[in-house]
Amino acid sequence: MKNITIKAASKLVDATEMVFSDIGEVAQYLDIPRQEARAYLHYGQLPDGRLITDGTKYGHSVLSASNAHRWMVCPASVRMEEGRGEGRSDFRDEGSVAHALADLCLSSLSNKLSANIYPEDFVGKTMIEYPDHPVDIEMAGHVQGYINSLSDYPGMSMIEQRVSFSDWVPGGAGPADFVVFDYDDEGIVTVIDFKYGQGIPVDVRDNPQLKLYALGVFNEYGHLYDIDTFKLVVHQPRLNNISEWTIRLKDLLVWADTEVSEKAQIALQDDAPFNPGKSQCQFCKAKPVCRAYAQHCIDLVAQEDFAHIDQPIQLKNIETLDNTEIAAILPDLDAVTQWINALKKYAQEELEAGRTVPDHKLVHGRSVRKWKDVEAAEKALRRAIKVEKTYKDREIISPAEAEGILGKDHRIMQQHVHKPPGKPTCVPESDKRSSIVINPEEEFADVDSEETPSTTLDEAA
């Protein structure tokens, strides 16, 4: 890690710009623990108002622990995802904010020399890297609940500890959210993974991500502690899911030596095989363009590969399906639905970027009329019609409802209503709506010409 910069955020802070070569130098300069210094990197600002930024933050390994459930099952996913990037996702960004908030608060609590920081202190504020995702009451409550739960695991703890499991997985490394070496039983080490998502409950049993983190902890600290057992914990506060599972170190090492090492080597080969399926492909970045997954879904639709059906169903020879047969088909149809949605989303993104998808175009979708200025429309409506008809459930009535009372040619409808363009959507070329003209060069030119303003605490908040 290099190019960590601390600079004044305003004239009120008497400090010049300083550049450090690694996080250790920052911690030494600020006289705080390394983990607290790293937590401030997440937030982007020090308590005295100075900005702190890192231009070369470490990223995930090619064979990361978080994607182990994918590359261990479908080795080809590694090369298929290469160069596609993480992209931006509201759900991913929201989870990153929650993690950063937890790290910042836990780091302050672990440093008795500094003032404690609590999640509720950040309600309405944002992390500097995620200005569109302010901390709300719900997030603060869930992060505080996660922090409170950690008291159930007494011992020497480490926050956001980056560990390496490269002895088994080439280049393998990643951050373990919370690691605890038990005070009472030196042989037990707890590895906790904080997951803020609320989509799918995560099962901690035999979870490859947690087991790789445990391997990393053993690799880093096994020479200092006589480790016998790992307690693996997944904490999903939004799903009220806190699950634990234990594994003996000897069993973990057998798994690492006989399964992980072999699958990691296969995943790094140029001709690594495909093995598409619902679970491993669900979040794969290459899903929309993966030919193997497309064929897998087509086979499902063609009734050649329904995993839950004992006897193939001959759809052409029957008139109706009974509920038992429908129940057998539904689990596999999820994979087809995910593929279809991913494919449609990818095609639309290509069109929005100005690239051609043969026989398809962008058009404006369905749009709903809105008031240009709600307050002005409200005043005009109150003068024209009765007060009780102006409001509906304590809200101003919609343009459609006003039109039903006043008529479409009324001056209020002409002066106060507009219909914005609908959300772009991908349709066949035969669609009668006009095509949207996309010129990405002009858009990027506008972006490049704008100066990026410096961020202060008030702006970030």
Give the DSSP per-residue string, 318-362.
-S---HHHHHHHHHHHHHHHHHHHHHHHHHHHHHHTT---TTEEE
Q: Cα dist. 250→15, 205, 247, 453 in Å?
A: 53, 17, 8, 54
Residue 35 has pLDDT above 50, yes or no: yes
- Give the start-end residues of each E strand in 173-263: 173-182, 188-194, 229-236, 241-248
Q: What is the CA radius of gyration of the chain?
A: 27
CB contact at 8 A, 174 and 162 = yes
Which of 95-99, 170-174, 200-204, 321-325 is predicted with the least confidence, judged by mean pLDDT? 321-325
CB contact at 8 A, 179 and 220 = no
pLDDT of residue 36: 67
CB contact at 8 A, 417 and 409 = no
Top pLDDT among 132 and 208 is at 208
Q: Which amino acid is at 336?
A: V
SS3 177: strand
pLDDT band at 444 (very low <50, low <70, confident <90, very high): very low
pLDDT band at 259 (very low <50, low <70, confident <90, very high): very high
Note the pTM of the prediction, 2 decimals: 0.62
Q: What is the pLDDT of residues 361-410, one digit of tens each?
A: 888 877 778 889 988 998 898 888 876 676 666 678 888 778 778 877 89
pLDDT over 90 for what percent of the chain?
26
Residues 323-330, mean pLDDT to the nearest whole number: 71
pLDDT of residue 2: 54
Q: Cα dist. 49→133, 305, 310, 380 in Å?
A: 21, 60, 65, 47
Which of 20-24, 134-138, 148-152, 457-461 is predicted with the least confidence, judged by mean pLDDT? 457-461
pLDDT of residue 107: 84
List, in order, residues 6 or more apart from 142 with CB less than 8 Å away.
98, 196, 237, 238
SS3 159: strand
What is the topology classification, in CATH, of domain 70-267? Lambda Exonuclease; Chain A (3.90.320)
Distance CA 179, CA 163 (A): 11
First and final C-alpha spacing in the chain: 27
Token pair belonging to 293:
């997954």
Residue 317 has pLDDT above 50, yes or no: no
Residues 264-270, mean pLDDT to the nearest whole number: 89
Residue 236 has pLDDT above 60, yes or no: yes
Top pLDDT among 316 and 319 is at 319
Q: What is the pLDDT of residues 102-123, one digit of tens each?
A: 998 998 887 765 678 889 999 9
Top pLDDT among 382 and 253 is at 253
Beta bridge partners of 264: none
Burial status of residue 434 (CB atoms within 10 A of its CB: 0-12, 13-18, 19 or more): exposed
pLDDT band at 177 (very low <50, low <70, confident <90, very high): very high
Do β-strands 229-236 and 188-194 pair in parallel, antiparallel, or remain unpaired? Answer: parallel
pLDDT of residue 457: 28
CB contact at 8 A, 215 and 257 = no
Top pLDDT among 422 and 95 is at 95
Residue 349 has pLDDT above 80, yes or no: yes
Burial status of residue 360 (CB atoms within 10 A of its CB: 0-12, 13-18, 19 or more): middle
Domains of the chain by residue range: 4-54, 70-267, 278-352, 372-420
pLDDT of residue 190: 97
Give the DSSP per-residue string, 219-242.
HHHTTTS---EEEEEEEEGGGTEE
CB contact at 8 A, 337 and 300 = no
DSSP state of 259: I
pLDDT band at 359 (very low <50, low <70, confident <90, very high): confident
pLDDT band at 8 (very low <50, low <70, confident <90, very high): low
Distance of CA 265 to the CA centre of its chain: 28
Distance of CA 195 to the CA centre of its chain: 10
Mean pLDDT of the chain: 80
Residues 253-276, mean pLDDT to the nearest whole number: 93
Residues 235-263, mean pLDDT to the nearest whole number: 94
Distance CA 218, CA 199 (A): 31
The closest of 100, 108, 192 to 150, measured between CA atoms, is 192
H or E stretch at 215 = helix 208-221
pLDDT of residue 11: 42
CB contact at 8 A, 1 and 58 = yes
Q: Cα dist. 118→115, 141, 142, 268 in Å?
A: 10, 10, 12, 43
